[in-house]
Amino acid sequence: MLGLLFWRKVRTFVNALTHLTPYERVRNAAFTLAGLGLLVGLYALFHKLVAYLGTVPLIGQLLLWKLTAMVMLATFMMVAISGLLTSLSTLYYSFDLKFLMNAPVPLRALFMDKALESLFFCSWMIGLVQVPYVLALMRVNHYGVGFFLAFILLMLPFLALAAAVGMTFTLLLLYLFPSSRTRDVVWVLSSLSLTVLYGMVRFAEPERLIRPDALQVVAEYLAYLQAPTAQYFPSWWLTAALKAAAAGKVAVLARNAALLYGSAVLVYAGLTALAGRVYFVGYSGAQAGRQRRLELRIAPMAERLLGLPRELGALFWKERRTFFRDVKHWSQILLIMGLVFVYLFSIQRLPLDNADLKSLVSFLNVGTAGFVLAALGLRFTYPAISLEGRSWWVLGSAPVSVGAIMRQKFLFSVIPMTAIALVLSLATNHILQADGFSAGLSTGALLLITWTLAAMGIGFGAMFPMFTVENIHQIESSLGGFVYMASALGYIGATIMILAWPMQMHFQERFGRPGAWDWNLVGYCAALYLVLNAAALAVPWSLGRRTLERYEQ
């Protein structure tokens, strides 16, 4: 039966591939190329890091394997948390579950089918990112192809084990609390754990790893490097197996590989057995709609009282209500708060001891905070249009223009994003005690970046609408999401390049160079900056509006 279920997935995949339109082929090719480009970029980055660590006298190799163990541990944690979220959707809320549950499919086979689906979706991307790291490790240390082969073979049970942790948690939680509300609790819990995990990693100050002077006793540092990292975790078995593969120690490799494969088989056998008992209880409970009686009050909308025109006010009112009732959004807000806190902590810990450097960092903060805002835009602004989902017909058939819908989405995004931008900019400038010019320039630039990014997010979101997806991650990781992110990063890079000129003149003035300000150049920069922002605002916006106006449901 599992074979038959798997066959339908293969057929679906093959049919999707063979029925691609020429546009879809070009689009997918572009997407694949861009993905490969990203992997090559990561490889270059990892290569630099690995090559640097490898050259540290005496402890280079120890450092490398310590880093590898930490990378694998982080991977394990990320896949486990991702598995928790993914399995919640696939095991309990997939669109085909009603059909499959009605069909004469044994429950355990159905569970395995969905478990394998969860495994794939929660791990493929995180797993893929390991490839450039391992290739960098291979290149720097001159390991053979056998090492890479061992890595591929060992990754399979490793990722399967990590995903199983998340799945087991979901399975038990839905069994113990079989309700649709559990989904909300899981969303909040997993986001909280991600926030805590991220905070823990950051507050542990991993940069101290390559600063032996940070530990008082050298022997203590060496002992730390040599000690296994989370010895009883599959991440350590994988690291030990890879280390053995690198050193040609076949027995150690075989022992750790057996541990990984043996555990994976045992864990999945146990999961299947457990699913036979508990899966249906959770599934059944998760389907029940939640009762939440709201007051039946027909009063003027707050948005109208604030002076918004009728249609814009109504759209904003609808957006506000639906957004804050969706727990998935709150959990993301928790993550953002954690991110902002860690960001400011990192700024505060920067070892900067002179005022010029501090002002320079305040300017560079435009880039890093801009990146954070672009990432937030990818999560909140870009999907805003697509999140109308199958209800799009309501707006599509209503007497409301696409422009008005886009303006409302923009407004809803830009207000919180401006607040975050202000916190990031003002707090950073305060921590750094940046001079007035640098602080003013960076705050102004960051505000403009925020507004432009919000317009870009809505514009690209309208250009690539996805009204029939099952979850928001499919929207973020789509081609449109990639195009938005690439354009946003390009725009931020261009902003930094243009503003670097006045910044340079400002520094020259600080260093006492007379006539540092070339006003012609300032005018040229201002014009260029204006053109850049006008283009970044208007082009995706108008293209998106036209695409959405022509959109056929």
The answer to whether 482 and 465 have CB atoms below 8 angstroms apart is: no
Q: Which is nearer to other proteins, 12 or 401 (CB)?
A: 401
Q: Centre a 10 Å sphere on the Cβ of residue 72 and count the other Cβ atoms it contains.
A: 26
User: Counting every residue, how long is the chain?
Assistant: 553
* Residue 348 in the binding site for other proteins (CB under 8 A): no
* Residue 325 in the binding site for other proteins (CB under 8 A): yes
CA–CA separation, 87 and 187 (whole Å): 12
**If residue 347 lies in a helix (H) or strand (E), which one and from where to where?**
helix 327-348
CA–CA separation, 549 and 404 (whole Å): 12
Q: Which is nearer to other proteins, 145 or 298 (CB)?
A: 298
Which residue in 139, 202, 255, 318 binds other proteins (CB under 8 A)? 318
Residues 380-409 contacting other proteins, CB under 8 A: 389-391, 393-394, 396-401
Which residue in 184, 326, 509, 518 binds other proteins (CB under 8 A)? 326
CA angle 199, 200, 206 (to 5 degrees): 105
Task: State the minimum distance, in angstroms, from the CB of residue 392 to other proteins.
Answer: 8
Q: Which is nearer to other proteins, 144 or 389 (CB)?
A: 389
* Rg of the chain, C-alpha, whole Å: 26
CA–CA separation, 330 and 321 (whole Å): 13
Task: State the minimum distance, in angstroms, from the CB of residue 100 to other proteins.
Answer: 20
Task: State the minimum distance, in angstroms, from the CB of residue 401 to other proteins.
Answer: 6
The answer to whether 57 and 64 have CB atoms below 8 angstroms apart is: no
Token code pair at residue 162 = 């990590």
How far is residue 534 CA from its own chain's centroid?
A: 28
Task: State the minimum distance, in angstroms, from the CB of residue 552 to other proteins.
Answer: 5
Q: Which is nearer to other proteins, 251 or 298 (CB)?
A: 298
Alpha-carbon dihedral 444, 449, 450, 452, rounded to 10 degrees: 130
Q: From residue 276 to residue 295, what is the string marking binding to other proteins with x (rule CB under 8 A)?
A: -------------xxxxxxx
Q: Is 248 left (phi over 0), alpha (psi -120 to 50) or beta?
A: left
Which residue in 8, 9, 310, 430 binds other proteins (CB under 8 A)? 310
Locus of tokens 């109504």: 314
Residues 188-207 contacting other proteins, CB under 8 A: none
* Residue 353 in the binding site for other proteins (CB under 8 A): no
Task: State the minimum distance, in angstroms, from the CB of residue 322 to other proteins.
Answer: 4
Locus of tokens 């038990």: 172
From the list 1-9, 51-59, 296-304, 367-375, the region that binds other proteins by CB under 8 A is 296-304
Task: State the minimum distance, in angstroms, from the CB of residue 183 to other proteins.
Answer: 11
* Residue 12 in the binding site for other proteins (CB under 8 A): no
What is the contact surface with other proteins in residues (CB under 8 A)?
289-296, 298, 300-301, 310-311, 313-315, 317-318, 321-322, 325-326, 389-391, 393-394, 396-401, 550, 552-553
